[in-house]
Every structure is written in structure tokens, then in C-alpha cells.
Chains A and B, each alone.
Chain A
Amino acid sequence: MADAAAMFEVVKPGLATTVQDLGRPGYYHLGLPISGAMDRFALIAANRLVGNPDGAAGLEAVFLGPVLRFVADAVIAITGATMPPKLDGVEQPLWTAFAASAGQELSFGYLKAGARAYIAIAGGIDVPEVHGSRSTYALGGLGGFEGRALKAGDQVKFAAPTGSPRLGATIPEDIRRNAPQSGTVLRAMPGLYWHRITEESQGTFFEDSWKVAPEADRIGYRFKGGRALDFVPREPPFGAGSDPSNIVDSCYPYGSIQGPGGTEPIVLHRDAVSGGGYFMVGTVISADMDLIGQLQPHQPVRFESIDMEGALAARRDEKARLNRLAECLGS
């Protein structure tokens, strides 16, 4: 009986609020990207706070939070960007599980840090699975809530909780993460078509300070402000196209840094285009992908060169952080 009304209604949708879980691997060879939370750590933390499995579907809200009216009682937790949640106008703590009663309205204050907030509800958002995931891939109109971002008036169901929410449980400050307002460093492994640019440009790419461009979304983040990259001269290979930044269309790794025209690098993210005809200078390491999801436009960023050994060490650090999360929640 309660289940029938286990839902919330979207009063205001926010800027682009989508249903996301940990993604839909396995179809990239057909052009379907993994999707899922851009900041996976934040979604996992929110899920654990409300007693959900790590891969339960929650909401990802970017820059501006939604206003949701709960039709049934719910336990919720909000992590990621510092966008203070409010219940009927009363501020609630971030990175902490709290209860919302039927009829209450969840809203958000202005964004103070980061870019994406994650809203987990005990039980998880109940939309149909498509190819094993509830994530939204908006470009292809697939998954999530009707394949798109939420709109005012949508009624979104959540499932019955399976675990035990940890009401009042909170995640200590030191393992929360937000993109710092300055001094953000993205570690990248040079490679792929790195040899296409001159030695001088190989230097300036890592020396220069870049800024997140306004064109930054779930597909990719564009950066501007660094010096343009110069190419090693060549005869265009058959099928590549005449521009020196063109290649014979290939796959694009997640996190790969492409440089159309050699000017503004783009880092592909969870809704990546799976391939195309632009050269790539290298790839942001997996441990720094979450961080990109918390970058705001105009934020300054530097790329730092790292080798495989360093990338694997960073990966172990991320694992350790997840383990600490488990320890402090006693799970």
C-alpha cells in the first residue's frame, strides 16, 4: 500500500537533474557510453548513508538543485557539491542521512563549491533498467526517467528500502571531496597521438594554466586559456582529413584529452562520444575522473603528467578512501 505512493513529485527540475547509478558498461563498441554518476565516490557515499547498495540509482543535480515534494516518507542523503539542502526551508546537513516526511519539500540553497550534488533515497530510484543500468543517457534518449532530465510535474518512484539507513550518520570532512576553488590538478598520462604535437607544445600543455570553458557537460569538459598546440608536419594519411588535428576516426578512451584544431582540449567523461576524428594527447587517469565532475566553468586547472606507476598508486589511494568510508559507516 505504501509502495504505491513511494514517490516524489518534481516541483522544479533544477538545471539538469538526471537519474544515475554506477553506469552501463559493455556497449561502448556500439556507441553507447557507460553513463552513470560523474562523481562516483559521492554517489556511493550517499547510497551507503541511506543503506543502499553502492550501485542504487540516485539523482545527479548540476549547478542548481531541484525542488522535490515527497509523497511518502523517505530517508535521504545528499553528497557531492556544497549545495545546502533544505526541508520545508530548514537547512539540513550534507553528507548525512536524514528523514523526510510525506508532504515535505526538499530544496537547495545556492551552490558554494563543486558542481554536482547526489541525492540518494533509501530503496533507490525505481525506473526500468535498460541494459543493466538505470542511468540516463540523454543524448540517446535512453535509460533514467524516460531517457531525459527531470521536468516539473514528473512523478518519480523509489523502491522499498532493502538495507538499514543510518539516520544521522555522517561522513567525516576529511574523506569528503570537492574540487578546490583554485589549484585543481588533473593527472594525465601522455599517449595516444601525443607524438603529433611538437616537443615545445608537449611542454606547454602541462605548464599552462587552463580554465574550464562554459561548454562542460556529461559528454566532456572543454578547457581554454592555455597556448595552442603546434603539430609535427605530416602528409595527411588517407581518410584522416586535411586538418593536422584529424586522425582516421578511432575510439576515444574515457578521460581522453582531444584537441580539435589544437586549441581547446576536451576531456571526455561518462557520456563520452565513443569515437571520432580528432587526435588525443593523452588520458586523465581513472582516479581523477570524479574530480572533473565537480569542476565549475571558469575554474582554473592544470594538467600534470603522470606515468602508469603513478596512476596505479593514485588508484590504490582511491580504493583506500572507499575503505575508510566503509570503516566510518561500519559497513
Chain B
Amino acid sequence: MKTRYSFGGDEHIFVEVDEEMSLEAFFKSLSMTTAIREAGIDGITEICPANASFQVKFDPDVIAPEALMERLKGFEAAAENAEKTIDTRIIEMPVFYNDPWTHETLMRFRERHQDPASTDLEYAARINNYPDVESFIAAHSGAPWFVSMVGFVAGLPFTYQLVERARQIQVPKYLRPRTDTPRLTVGYGGCFGCVYSVRGAGGYQMFGITPMPIYDPKGERSYLKELFLFRPGDIIRFKPIDRETYDATLAEVEAGRYEPKIASVQFSLDAFNADPEGNNAKLLEALDG
């Protein structure tokens, strides 16, 4: 893991913890951003963690860029040795896979896809060596996901599945981005999943849709008073649901009665690495218990 520092103009410092994605890189980035936040350095205006990198925005009238760069580098060694354990939440997200709305959308943009003759799910299942869509969905929903970054647009979580690298799903993005994606589409690109918080352009493959809003610009929903549901470090479980459950859940959402299922958990990277499946089972127990 080789960490690289660069100025993003006169107001940003960009830190690439590692060129490739891994939970180790994510944890190092999270440790550094947490330590930097706690240090309360004058002149830092925003700290944005990402998958395997992070960005600090600063006011160069308050702190000299070179001086800040040196200070940030000073957090690296401690982050490498920091305990990779966080207190976080696991959130259940119901997903209607293979739904009619993302299907209609993906058919409209077929000429922008690598394989116009398949659906996004069929294509993803095939190139990841699953015999059929059902077994692919079972793998997608079978292990929980880490929210490794929130961004692109307001409140959109990037997710990284808690499985060994050999089992990571990988899918290229569309050849050319779509101009439309239904709101709350569950998508996939590279080694990352995402949930589109708003309707709009997008390049990720589309696997399904959730009835559970994750962003509320008016802050009216009980669990979205702060507008956004997800924060980096959250854990998500995708729970497959059928059309009937989707419709029933949506009715609850529209009546303002829906509350997501959320439990507090602790996640330790070492414990996960020692026994991924056992560790995941414990995380899921917290939701079901």
C-alpha cells in the first residue's frame, strides 16, 4: 500500500491511500480522516473519506498549503497501526431484484451496453461465472456490504461486499452512461455497488430497486431528518423481496409509516479476515435478533 499526496488546486489536498481497492485501504483512510477531524486543525473546512482515498478542503488564507500537507502526512504512521475496529450500524435494505422499472430503463439504453442481447443481471451473472440470475442474486444478497463512500450525488452510498477478493463481484460500467436511472436503483460498477439516491444519469449496471428512500431533500421522513441515511462505515444487508412485498412496503413509505430495520454492531477487520463467514453471520444476527 503506497500512499500518495497531491494538491487539488489551492484549496484541496487529495490523498490516495492505495491505487487499488481493499478493506485495508478503506480502514487506513477512515483512520486518517477520523484522526484529522479529531485534531481540529484550523483552516480545514471539509474532510471527505472515499473508498481507498480521501480529500481535505482547506482555506489557504488560514493555513499554508505545504504546512498542512506535512501535518496530514504525520497521521499516516499512526493510521497504519490503528486498531481496525469501528462501532457502526447494520441497515437492512429490501431489494426487488429484476424489477419492471429498471428493466424498462435498461431496455431503453441497450445500445450503450456491452451485451445488448442480455439484461444487466444476465450479463453480470455470466461474466462472474454464475450459472443463472438466481444464483447471482443469492450471492449479491448473501453477504453484507460495507458503505465505503457516500457521494457522486447527495446521499448515494458506494458499497463493497464483505467477502474474500476471489468472491468479489466485478462488472464494467455501461460503455456510455445512460441519461436516466430510476430513483433508488440498486446498481453495480467495477467492484462497487451503489444505490441511486435520485433519478438521473448513471453508468452502473442495474440489478433491482428498493422501496426504501435514502435521501429526503425536505427532511420530513422520521429517519431522514438529516436528509441522508448513509455514512461511510455503515453496513448494509440487501434483502430480496417480491412484487407483493415491494408494493406493501411502498404503501408504508408513502403513508410515512416506514421505519428501516437498523441495529448497532461492531466491525473488526481482523475478526472479519480471520473468519469472513462467521463474522458476517454475527452481523446479520444483530438484525434478526
Give me the interface of A with B, judged by CB distance under 8 Å.
25-32, 130-131, 137, 139-143, 147, 188-189, 191-192, 194, 237-242, 246-251, 253-256, 273-277, 280, 282-287, 308, 311-312, 315
Contact = CB atoms under 8 A, between A and B. Distances in A.
Nearest to B12: A253
B43 interface: no
Given A140-B217, A142-B154, A283-B9, A29 B60 contact: no
Contacts of B47: 29
Contacts of A139: 153-154, 198, 200
Contacts of B93: none
B157 to A, nearest CB: 9
Contact of B155 (A31, A192, A286): A31
9 contacts: A25-B46, A31-B152, A130-B217, A237-B21, A248-B190, A251-B14, A255-B11, A286-B10, A308-B65
A181 B227 CA distance: 42
A218 to B, nearest CB: 13
Interface stretch (B49-57, B76-84, B102-110, B275-283): B49-57
Given A140-B198, A285-B9, A274 B60 contact: no
B51 to A, nearest CB: 5
Interface in B142-195: 149-156, 158, 165, 170, 172-173, 189-192
B250 to A, nearest CB: 19
Interface residues of B, number: 57
Nearest to A189: B9
A252 B232 CA distance: 16
B141 interface: no
Given A238-B165, A250-B16, A253-B55, A31 B8 contact: no
A253 B198 CA distance: 22
Contacts of A273: 151-153
B12 A283 contact: yes
Contacts of B151: 28-31, 251, 273-275
Given A29-B150, A250-B55, 4 more contacts: A28-B57, A237-B21, A251-B50, A254-B12
Nearest to A239: B21
Given A141-B217, A249-B158, A276-B152, A283 B53 contact: no
